[in-house]
Amino acid sequence: MQEFFRDYSPLIALALLLAGTFLGYWYRKHKFRNRQVIFRLLKQVFDHTHDGVTITDPEGNIIAVNRTFTQVTGYTEEEVLGENPRILSSGYHDRDFYENYWQTLLRDGIWQGEIWNRRKDGEIYLEWLTAKAVKDSDGEITHYVAIFTDITEHRRQEARLEHATEHDRLTGLPNTANTLRELSRQVPNLQRHWCFALIDIDNFRLVNASYGFAVGDQLLGSLARRLKEASQGLVARHSADVFICTFPLNPHDDEKDRREQLANIRQHLGRPFSIKGKLMEFSFTMGTSIWKDASLAVNELLQQSELALHAAKARGAGQTRHYSEDLKENNNPLVLLQGLREALSNNQLSLNFQPLVASGSQRIHALEVLLRWDHPTLGRIPPDQFIPLAERHGLMEPLGQWILEQSLKQYSAWQDKEIAPSRIAVNVSPLEFQAENFVENVQSLLGKYQLNPEVLELELTEGVFVQRDKETLDRLDQLSSVGVHLAIDDFGTGYSSLAYLKHLPVNQLKLDRAFIRSLPANEADRAIVESTLALCRGLKMTVVAEGVEEAEQADYLARKGCDLLQGYYFSKPIEAAAMTELLIQNKLGSSLPVTK
């Protein structure tokens, strides 16, 4: 507020100058020499200005106040005439403050600043005051004029704004930046070690999706209150469903104390929450680090806890991981995540293709698309490392879109050369499949590359099929109705229920390699494979055996009527250029050369 008046005082002076110029011009034009008329005009300005004005004699006795003064202070003009302005004193300022006020006013002729005063009803208010000493031609002080503005509400708005920028609106907890500053102030010398914990609500999105954001907000508020009850230190909201909890540790055994305090926090959070009249329990994943080195910046401490939290999530829900050096660089999930974002945006990913071979002719019937990522410094990163990362951090939908488009683009190129196989199979993540516009995207890409929908096969895990909710069934039916083939991938490793097969528009079932590995020697695997083949014949579904690596496996599966075989026995996943050569040979009528 000081800055406001300092910055805009030239404008205020200009306004007064213009007003004076106008009055002078008006006076000359009309040749008014009646002092009473001029006095009335000046009194109108005095009474109707938005600032409060007080005029005192040289002894400090009030001789005039304007209407704004009475509105702000609550005193009438009659109540203050002849009184000293100290009747407004709030008691907030000491003697030194008023001494400085008068010395500055007498020395410089003006004083400006903030001052706390009291209204007639006892309410304290803050004003911005400009006091001016008025002197005659001999330099003697004849009056003092004080002009003030009530800035109480402005200050309250500033305080509210400051609080809003430093705190989370929903829970009222401090935000991350506020907490890091406070932590730095509280423990500058680190006489005690501190634990810095990040706490994530597992599957919080399901609450918003199932019950709405209002219920999700209610849960977050309840969680914030419980954390404050359980913690001996600072609690903050870090992001949507992640909270910060920091607390000092026992210097004699900080590791034991850390475990005990975290156990206490888990106990508080583990109690059921009441949601829509129902008691529900949630699990929490934690990542922690210990601040024991004064040279370590609090931002680095936060980063360590984030690494630990990501590592804990990789282990599964409800886990706790403490930061250790092995989480840096090569095993750093944040590095991988950022690298994956860059690889996706810079087109650094690639596709490999593995043939699905007809068991009778051993010719290529279809190709399965497999994603590959060669990191510039870390080398090839297995899909089982980066695909879960993409699913957890919202990258699966754009990643799946990229895979599908590149697959159809390559298939279209092979089709132009008249060497394309009957079908190309693309794996689809459950998260990608649940996207609202998934079916429209598939149809759009097929149209973009002018491909018949029947050339595309989407491989989905059992989890997608057994959900049986209306939206899932509608998507499956829409895809099937336009001719897209649907396959159940890794059959037998998930829910392994056969009852749902007859109700779904599924064209193909892929037997997981776990049942193929020990064939034909293992009796149990033979029973499972032969039963599945018989079932699929009855349902008019084709069967693919994954993981075929030996001639005995291929021969046995062919004899038992398995339609398609896939595995290293025929070909490893290879790049598009190498696959082009195989497809040319396949077009010429050659069977696929097997791996010896």
pLDDT band at 466 (very low <50, low <70, confident <90, very high): low
Instruction: Tell me what pLDDT residue 3 has.
Output: 44
CB atoms < 10 A from the CB of 430, how many? 14
Q: Quick one: fold of 167-327?
A: Alpha-Beta Plaits (3.30.70)
Which residues, 6 or more positions from 232, have their beta carbon under 8 angstroms from its beta carbon? 247, 248, 261
Residue 584 corresponds to which tokens in the numbers above?
A: 């040319």
Kindly tell me if the per-residue pLDDT of 589 is higher than 80. Answer: no
Question: What per-residue confidence (pLDDT) applies to 5?
Answer: 36
Domain range 2-156, CATH class: alpha beta
**Token output for 198:** 């990040």
What is the model's pLDDT at position 294?
A: 66
Residue spans per domain, the chain: 2-156, 167-327, 334-587
Tell me the pLDDT tens digit for each residue of 126-167: 999 999 998 888 888 888 999 999 988 877 776 666 656 667
pLDDT of the residue at 34:
55
What does the DSSP 8-state code read for residue 574?
Answer: B
- Residue 453 near residue 482 (C-beta atoms within 8 A): yes
Annotation: CATH topology of 334-587: TIM Barrel (3.20.20)
Q: In 3-state terms, what secondary structure has residue 274?
A: strand
Q: How far is CA 67 from CA 50, 76, 79, 83, 256, in A?
A: 9, 9, 13, 17, 69
- Which comes out higher in pLDDT, residue 327 or 453? 453
pLDDT category of residue 463 using cuts at 50, 70 and 90: low
Query: Model's pTM, two decimal places?
Result: 0.53
Residue 200: in which H helix or E strand, if any?
strand 194-201
Q: What average pLDDT does the segment 243-264 reach? A: 85
Higher pLDDT, 595 or 68: 68
- Portion of the chain with pLDDT greater than 90, in percent: 28
Percentage of residues in the chain having pLDDT higher than 70: 83
pLDDT tens-digit series, residues 10-47: 334 334 434 444 455 555 555 445 555 555 655 666 66
What pLDDT, on a 0 to 100 scale, did the predictor assign at position 16?
41
Band of residue 424 on the pLDDT scale cut at 50, 70, 90:
very high
Give the DSSP H/E element, type plus range, for residue 62. strand 62-65
Confidence of residue 182 (pLDDT cuts 50, 70, 90): confident
Residue bearing tokens 């410094």 = 377
The pLDDT of residue 540: 87
Q: Is the dihedral of CA 549, 551, 557, 563 positive or negative?
A: positive
Q: Helix, strand, or coil here: 363? A: coil
Buried b (16+ CB within 10 A) or exposed e, 309-318: bbbbbbeeee
**Exposed/middle/buried for residue 221 (C-beta within 10 Å: 0-12, 13-18, 19+):** middle
**Is the pLDDT higher at 480 or at 187?**
480
Per DSSP, the three-state class of 400 is helix
Query: Cβ neighbours of residue 89 under 8 Å, at least 6 residues apart?
Result: 117, 118
Reported as a single tens digit per residue, the pLDDT across 533-567 is: 888 888 888 999 999 999 999 999 999 999 999 99
